[in-house]
Structure 1
Amino acid sequence: MSVASCLLLYSFVVAVLGPRLLARLTHAGLAPRLGLAAWLAAIGSVVASWAAAAVFLLAELLDDWNQPGRTVIGACFDALGAVASGRAGLLLQIGLLLLTALAAVALVVLVWRLGRSLLRARARTFEHARMARLAGRHVAGLDAVVLDAPERAAYCVAGRPHAIVVTSAAVAALDERHLDAVLAHERAHLAGRHHLLLAVTRGLATILPRIELFTTGAAEVARLLEMCADDAAARSHGSRTVLRALLALSGAAPIPTGALGATSVGVLARAERLAAPPQRADRVRARLLLTAVAVVVTVGPLLTGALAATGLAFCGSMAS
């Protein structure tokens, strides 16, 4: 089996089995950072496998161009050459040309849609940050822009510079300690560049909505990012303070698209996690499992390609 075929098979296995396994390991949020790393490693390994498979396939086709029949790829290419030249019939020739054109167009469209999605998200958040700074007011000692609004909301948006937005209703509903915890939560989002991770994962889920690894992964990444921000705020203000602030803002109006808000995703699961922190043994077990998964899916494409290449070289030497 060629390196390209092995990489495609590997990506298929990860795309099919990965979502259910990772969702089970990360659902409770025992180790959100490692859970996030595992999801991103799985998504990245599948995309990297596709790209590497395309490169290896092209290399194999070029290598077999003048040596048809030397490998399975060469035999297939020879047959495709017969179809492309019209020796197998005009209809098959036209069909192959149409299929090739459609595949090329599909690839270009996918790349273009992902790029457009990322650029639109960037433009939208930058514009919202700019408008928030213009429409809001600055309060002495408050590292945020205050918008006069009846809804309780707090969120951050990427921009130049970034902006943390808090409504006047949220300021009125929170005391100083709870407001500081909310702001620490939003600062953790910005410091970790969480908006970039969300933009990429949501972009992949948008352009490839039938692949569960991307759709489920985008939702789980968003939830784990909120848990990571909760932990960052809890380290300086305590879990109970973050929990009370979260509950005080729960049920508020939805935040703008592309923004990261304290109550935007998984409020109930996060509240339960803050109210009853997991036992140390459970955290250690989750960390070990997630570390193992992250390492496996990270080195998976390299190991798969290396094993396939070694097998091909061995078979080639035996044949000679």
Structure 2
Amino acid sequence: MSVAVCLLLYGFAVVVLAPRLLRRLSTEGAAPRIAVAAWLAAMASTVLAWTVTLAIIIIDLVTHRISLFPARFMDSCLLHLHDAAVGDYGGHMQTGLFVLSGFATLAVLVLVLAVRLGTTLLRSRRTTLEHARMARLAGRHHPGLNAVVLAVDHPAAYCVAGKPHTIVVSRGVLAALEDHHLDAVLSHERAHLDGRHHLLLTLTRGLATVLPRVELFTLGASEVARLLEMLADDVAARIHGREAVLQALLTLSTLPTPPATAEAALLPRVRRLSAPENPPRLHTRIAVTAITLTAVFIPVAAIVTAGIGLQVCAV
């Protein structure tokens, strides 16, 4: 039970402390890949800690606490549950029943959240696949660009995961960008698909939808999306140069209705691309890496400890 308490407290500590600390370390995108790993580790470890906490408590109650109930308790379940609730079997039994009821309610809540998350992820996948299919039907495939071109003046440039993956650009974007700037935009979108960023976005946004009042997940979803844009910028810059990516981003952002790819975290992205290319500071990399490793190590160590304890007790 002590392991469960530690994991529960760890989860709450991460929820309270991690958002502001991680945002402070990743605001300028000094090490976006490590920062993404840190956000994902914090979110995943919190979900893991709370899930394992619930499992440990249920196992502990079932295997060790049931013996506290008197044999006659099972003779008439509803009657004796009432007697236990009103304290006829003593304060310890009454407290135990209320604790068990609380954890049962928590288990139902976790199950409901898990079902909602699964439903959200499935709905998101169906929507994405349908969007990709409709884009391919509405536009025409451009072999030279390896993208689907929509015959609309409204500027649009984005990627959609599907079967197959699809990069979509509009006629308005083709008219606005020079060839090398357009190549930089297409490389940016291919980087999203090659890095499977859509899977990370689907998961983080799903958690934010299911737990909208938990800042770790809501802020984490927006921060991960922003950092993934920076990662894609870096990939495109390695191929076409930082200046080409910067000019493409600035050109798209000055259009009357800029596409979403240019609006996402525009100022930090422009600042990164405009600044001299310097490696991230050592202390920043160390701090973000330490947070990532800590977020992973603590719940894993606690789970291993709980597993060893269960094995020892079984023997």
TM-score w.r.t. structure 2 length? 0.85
Q: Which residue identity lines up with residue 42 of structure 2 in the other structure?
A: A
Q: Which residue identity lines up with residue 291 of structure 1 in the other structure?
A: T
- Tell me what 2:148 maps to: 145
Shift of the 65–99 alpha-carbon distance from structure 1 to 2, 3 Å rule, reads: closer
Structure 2 unpaired stretches of 5+ = 70-78, 88-93
Q: Does 1:244 align with 2:247?
A: yes
What fraction of aligned residue pairs are identical, expressed as a percent? 52
In 1, Cα distance between equivalents of 2:210 and 2:80: 32
- Tell me what 1:270 maps to: 269
Q: Does 1:300 align with 2:303?
A: no
In 2, Cα distance between equivalents of 1:140 and 1:113: 40
In 1, Cα distance between equivalents of 2:99 and 2:13: 28
- Tell me what 1:13 maps to: 13
Shift of the 254–57 alpha-carbon distance from structure 1 to 2, 3 Å rule, reads: farther
Matches within 5 A, 1:153-302: 153-250=156-253, 253=257, 262-277=261-276, 279-280=278-279, 282-302=280-300
Deviations 1:233-274 (A, max 9, x none): 00101111000011111155476xxxxx53241011101110
In 2, Cα distance between equivalents of 1:17 and 1:295: 16
Contact residue 6 and residue 308 of structure 1 kept, 8 A: no
Q: Shift in Å at residue 104 of structure 1? A: 4.4
Q: Which residue identity lines up with residue 267 of structure 1 in the other structure?
A: L
Shift of the 162–254 alpha-carbon distance from structure 1 to 2, 3 Å rule, reads: farther
Q: Shift in Å at residue 291 of structure 1? A: 1.1
Contact residue 240 and residue 274 of structure 1 kept, 8 A: yes
Q: Shift in Å at residue 102 of structure 1? A: 4.5
Q: Shift in Å at residue 288 of structure 1? A: 1.7
Deviations 1:104-145 (A, max 9, x none): 442232112111111111111111111111110123411110
Shift of the 44–254 alpha-carbon distance from structure 1 to 2, 3 Å rule, reads: farther
Matches within 5 A, 1:22-61: 22-61=22-61
Question: Which of residues 75, 83, 86 in structure 2 aligns to 1:86?
Answer: 83
TM-score w.r.t. structure 1 length? 0.83
Structure 1 unpaired stretches of 5+ = 70-81, 256-260
Contact residue 85 and residue 98 of structure 2 kept, 8 A: no
Question: Which of residues 131, 135, 141 in structure 1 aligns to 2:134?
Answer: 131
Q: Shift in Å at residue 278 of structure 1? A: 5.5
Task: Count how many residue pairs are aligned between Structure 1 and Structure 2.
Answer: 297
Q: Which residue identity lines up with residue 9 of structure 2 in the other structure?
A: L
